[in-house]
């Protein structure tokens, strides 16, 4: 399976953020989208996720394992800046909701909470969780339903060093199973075998391990 972006252009307001952007992400690899604030990293992720429409160009998943009946959005997890939790509900209830919506094809709720280091905290309302705990809960969503493509916007924001390392292991395991990752980030994510797409000065380059 591979994710292909062809001739992508994005205009926001009066500003053209990028044009004629081509990239390919092969199964088992990650593409890091980098560049200065306002370069268009989040905008690119939203285009891939189907949450915004490109001015030109298209994105598709193709090859073995890609579902020809489904669009990219249905085969992707999109994790934006907002964590998409109901603050008044317990963490476990929030995660159970996403598991039901996304298709129950991954870990159970308790196991996913345990995996992101929130074991025993599932009964707490999200409102009382710390910023890093809320982020961990958002990351747990990736685990409760299988989607081959993970679109991650600054996924390690608010995570402590240990949680960053744990999440690097989770991402690496996803890649080892043939998954794909596109991540907008200002910081290294601790992954090997990644390539970098730098916006602001468009170029795709190999990142040394
Ligand atoms: N809905 C919108 N209407 C008009 N302009 C927008 C809209 N959304 C984003 N922009 C503009 O598009 C540009 C790119 O925004 P984007 O969030 O994609 O940047 P980014 O590279 O992710 O930045 P950061 O590193 O700060 O997160 C910014 O100048 C922003 O103001």
CA of 144 to the centre of ligand 1 (A): 30
The Cα 142–Cα 106 span in angstroms is: 8
What are the two backbone dihedrals, phi and then psi, of residue 150, each rounded to the nearest 5 degrees?
-110, 120
Angle between helices 161-176 and 131-144 (to 10 degrees): 10
10-residue stretch averages of pLDDT, the chain, 209 residues long: 97 90 97 95 97 96 94 96 92 97 93 97 97 97 97 96 96 97 94 91 55
The per-residue pLDDT for 207 is 57
What are the two backbone dihedrals, phi and then psi, of residue 154, each rounded to the nearest 5 degrees?
45, 60
The per-residue pLDDT for 209 is 54
Mutate to test the pocket of ligand 1, among 13, 51, 52, 186 (most ligand atoms within 8 A of CB): 13
The Cα 130–Cα 39 span in angstroms is: 29
Contact assessment for residue 7 and residue 58, using Cβ atoms and an 8 Å cutoff: yes
Strand partners, 30: 181, 194
Residue 77 burial (CB < 10 Å; 0-12/13-18/19+)?
Answer: buried
Nearest residue CA, atom 8 of ligand 1? 12
Nearest residue CA, atom 28 of ligand 1? 38
CA of 178 to the centre of ligand 1 (A): 31
ipTM of the complex: 0.95
The Cα 170–Cα 190 span in angstroms is: 11
In the structure encoding, which two tokens stand for residue 85, read together?
Answer: 């939790």
The Cα 6–Cα 22 span in angstroms is: 5
The per-residue pLDDT for 141 is 97
The per-residue pLDDT for 34 is 96
């Amino acid at each position: 399976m591979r994710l292909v972006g062809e001739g992508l252009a994005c205009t926001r307001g009066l500003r053209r953020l990028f044009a004629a952007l081509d990239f390919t992400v092969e199964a088992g690899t990650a593409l890091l989208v980098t560049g200065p604030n306002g370069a268009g990293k989040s905008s690119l992720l939203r285009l891939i996720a189907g949450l915004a429409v490109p001015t030109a160009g298209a994105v598709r998943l193709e090859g073995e394992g890609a579902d020809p009946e489904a669009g990219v959005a249905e085969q992707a997890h999109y994790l934006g800046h907002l964590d998409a939790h109901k603050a008044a509900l317990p963490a476990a209830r929030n995660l159970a909701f996403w598991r039901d919506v996304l298709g129950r094809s991954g870990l159970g709720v308790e196991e996913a909470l345990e995996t992101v280091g929130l074991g025993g905290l599932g009964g707490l309302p999200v409102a009382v969780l710390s910023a890093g705990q809320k982020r961990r809960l958002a990351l747990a969503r990736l685990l409760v339903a299988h989607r081959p493509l993970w679109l991650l916007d600054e996924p390690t924001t608010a995570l402590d060093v240990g949680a960053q390392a744990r999440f690097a292991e989770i991402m690496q395991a996803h890649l080892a199973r043939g998954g794909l990752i596109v991540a907008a980030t200002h910081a290294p994510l601790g992954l090997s075998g990644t390539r970098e797409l730098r916006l602001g000065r468009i170029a795709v380059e190999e990142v040394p391990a």
